[in-house]
């Protein structure tokens, strides 16, 4: 009802007064809404609300209007992070956990290359020193699940994912793993995965003790789907409340795996996941190309739609099955763009998260915690600051599209979220040369009311927080800027 009221309500009468107050600050001058080049002052021009615009920046008048309802996300069920399989010392994990407790992340995924790890015996199977032949077993705690159990149990909310040994295709091994997690570790995964990225498997159906560098046994799509069905059935006999992610696909392009798994297992699984590492030519060397991945066919908007279509092809009756983004980072995988380690990584991830909300993805999992927290220096990274300083303030609930009209400016992403009377508006401008002079109305967001907002722009080590203020109608959003408004 409130959303319908907002759609039809005219601008609030306090808006002219607020606009006058805002314009009393040194905002750029406008003539008929035309863009202005700020070059007359030697120092940076400072906007009404503290944003800085470097000399020579093109400022464009922009407006935002409310779009369609997109979906809904609970407060605890969207943000995720991957735990790497790298034998991280406990003292480092404690620091990582302390950091994660300052973020909205509540999903923790143990996946990646852990297929060659047996957590029930803390044994890692690796290629021999010669580089060829049968894998060699060595004792190693690749995942410190003992620490994780204490970390998880200390939190109010903790969801996590771990794997059954899917590549072995052995139901006895699946039951063995499930019993170990239930009865020995004493911490049961919120959802089971059936291994990771089956399109990359080469030892399908082989006992892990016999894996070899020369093996070439790839699962077919029907063969993988049959394994999922068999595993889910046998584990459910022992633990009927366990839940399953049907697939952790290497990419949205794994059409047959998605289609056959949905067709065979759609009635018994709880979600499907794919992985994405967007990259285009020059995205590792050119800042504009780095952001260009968000507007390319490699972006979440395109990949999520593609994967959802593939799932629906296999199961018309389960076309609404939740879709997770199980791994995400600026690609290519294992050769991530160096821009992720700069300020640019923050607006890139923020814009990506908005796309994930726009596509109603159920989980947005960043790869991996090292991208958020630098264990070597004990410092929070730029992407990590986004998760720590801005995203915890984003209301989770009903999601609505926001259309930003800014002539000639591309790379702007926006979303409005609502939970009762509590609302958030997040807008990210990934354009590298153009800033926005953004006008908001009460038809979109309750400007004029009491609230807080956060802004971030290049050159600022941390986002700037403005708490307990009257939310204005006009904001200056810098090139590569992030703006989050939150009402009370």
Question: What pLDDT does residue 217 have?
Answer: 98
Residue 319 has what pLDDT?
Answer: 66
Ranges in the chain annotated CATH 3.20.20.80: 76-393
Q: Which pLDDT band, with edges at 50, 70 and 90, does 4 fall under?
A: very low
pLDDT digits (tens, 9 = 90+) for 203-217: 999 999 999 999 999
- Which range has the top average pLDDT, 12-26, 308-322, 473-487? 473-487
User: What single string gives the DSSP state of each residue in 94-131?
Assistant: HHHHHHHTTSS--EEEE-TTGGGEETTTTEEEE--TTS
List, for residues 313-338, the tens digit of each pLDDT value.
999 877 689 999 999 999 999 899 99
pLDDT tens across 147-186, in order?
Answer: 999 999 999 999 999 999 999 999 999 999 999 999 999 9
Residue 346 reports pLDDT greater than 70: yes
Dihedral of alpha carbons 29, 34, 40, 46, sign: positive
CATH number of 2-71+398-487: 2.60.40.1180
In CATH, which of 3.40.309.10, 3.50.50.60, 3.20.20.80, 3.90.1200.10 is domain 76-393? 3.20.20.80
- Residue-level pLDDT at 338: 98
Q: Is 282 left (phi over 0), alpha (psi -120 to 50) or beta?
A: left
Of residues 62, 50, 52, 53, the one with CA closest to residue 22: 50
CA 144 to CA 155: how far, in whole Å? 17
> Is the pTM value of this prediction over 0.85?
yes
Rounded to 5 degrees, what are φ and ψ at 133? 125, -165
pLDDT for 119-155, tens place per residue? 999 999 999 999 999 999 999 999 999 999 999 999 9
The pair of three-digit structure tokens given for residue 438, joined into one six-digit string: 């953004």
Mean pLDDT of 401-418: 97
Of residues 318, 321, 325, the one with CA closest to residue 304: 325
The pLDDT > 90 percentage for the chain reads: 83
Helix (H, G, I), strand (E, B) or coil at 317: helix
Instruction: Give the separation between CA 221 and CA 54, rounded to whole angstroms.
Output: 54
The pLDDT value recorded for residue 87 is 81
Helices 300-314, 255-265: inter-axial angle, 10-degree rounding? 40
Residues of each domain in the chain carrying CATH 2.60.40.1180: 2-71+398-487
- Residue 379: Cβ-neighbour burial (10 angstroms; 0-12, 13-18, 19+): exposed
Count of residues for the chain?
488
Q: Pairing mode, if any, of strands 323-328 and 271-276? A: parallel
Backbone angles phi, psi at 249, to 5 degrees: -75, 145
Q: Is the pLDDT of residue 86 over 80?
A: no
| Structure confidence at residue 51 as a pLDDT band (50, 70, 90) | low
């Amino acid at each position: 009802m409130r959303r319908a009221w907002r759609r039809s309500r005219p601008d609030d009468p306090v808006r002219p007064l607020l606009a006058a107050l805002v314009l009393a600050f040194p905002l750029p001058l406008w003539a008929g809404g035309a863009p202005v080049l700020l070059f007359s002052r030697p120092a940076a021009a400072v906007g009404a609300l503290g944003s800085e615009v470097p000399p020579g920046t093109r400022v464009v008048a922009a407006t935002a209007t409310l779009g369609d309802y997109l979906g809904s996300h609970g407060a605890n069920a969207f943000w995720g992070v991957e735990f790497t399989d790298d034998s991280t010392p406990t003292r480092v994990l404690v620091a990582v956990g302390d950091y994660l407790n300052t973020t909205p992340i509540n999903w923790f995924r143990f996946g990646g290359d852990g297929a060659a790890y047996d957590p029930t015996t803390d044994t890692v199977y690796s290629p021999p020193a010669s580089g060829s032949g049968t894998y060699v077993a060595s004792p190693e705690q690749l995942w410190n699940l003992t620490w994780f159990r204490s970390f998880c149990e200390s939190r109010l909310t903790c969801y996590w994912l771990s794997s059954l040994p899917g590549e072995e295709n052995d139901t006895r091994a699946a039951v063995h793993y499930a019993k170990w997690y239930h009865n020995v570790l004493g911490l049961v995964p919120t959802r089971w995965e059936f291994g990771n990225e089956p399109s990359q498997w080469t030892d399908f159906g082989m006992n892990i003790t016999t894996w070899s560098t020369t093996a070439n046994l790839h699962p077919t799509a029907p063969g993988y789907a049959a394994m999922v069905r068999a595993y889910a059935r046998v584990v459910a006999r022992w633990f009927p409340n366990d839940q399953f992610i049907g697939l952790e696909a290497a990419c949205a392009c794994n059409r047959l795996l998605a289609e056959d798994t949905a067709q065979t297992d759609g009635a018994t699984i709880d979600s499907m996941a794919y992985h994405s590492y967007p990259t285009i030519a020059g995205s590792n060397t050119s800042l504009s190309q780095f952001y260009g991945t968000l507007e390319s066919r490699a972006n979440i908007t395109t990949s999520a739609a593609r994967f959802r279509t593939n799932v629906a092809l296999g199961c018309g009756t389960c076309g609404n099955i939740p879709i997770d983004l199980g791994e995400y980072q600026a690609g290519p995988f294992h050769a991530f763009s160096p821009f992720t380690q700069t300020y640019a990584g923050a607006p890139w991830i923020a814009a990506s998260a908005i796309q994930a909300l726009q596509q109603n993805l159920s989980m947005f999992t960043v790869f991996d915690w090292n991208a958020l927290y630098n264990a070597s220096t004990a410092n929070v990274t730029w992407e990590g600051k986004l998760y720590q300083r801005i995203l915890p303030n984003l209301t989770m609930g009903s999601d609505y599209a926001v259309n930003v009209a800014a002539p000639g400016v591309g790379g702007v992403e926006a979303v409005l979220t609502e939970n009762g009377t509590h609302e958030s508006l997040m807008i990210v401008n990934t354009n590298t040369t153009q800033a926005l002079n953004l006008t908001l109305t009460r038809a979109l967001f309750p400007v004029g009311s009491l609230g807080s907002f956060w802004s971030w722009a290049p050159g600022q080590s941390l986002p700037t927080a403005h708490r307990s203020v009257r939310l204005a109608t006009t904001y200056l959003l810098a090139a590569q800027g992030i703006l989050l408004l939150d009402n009370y």
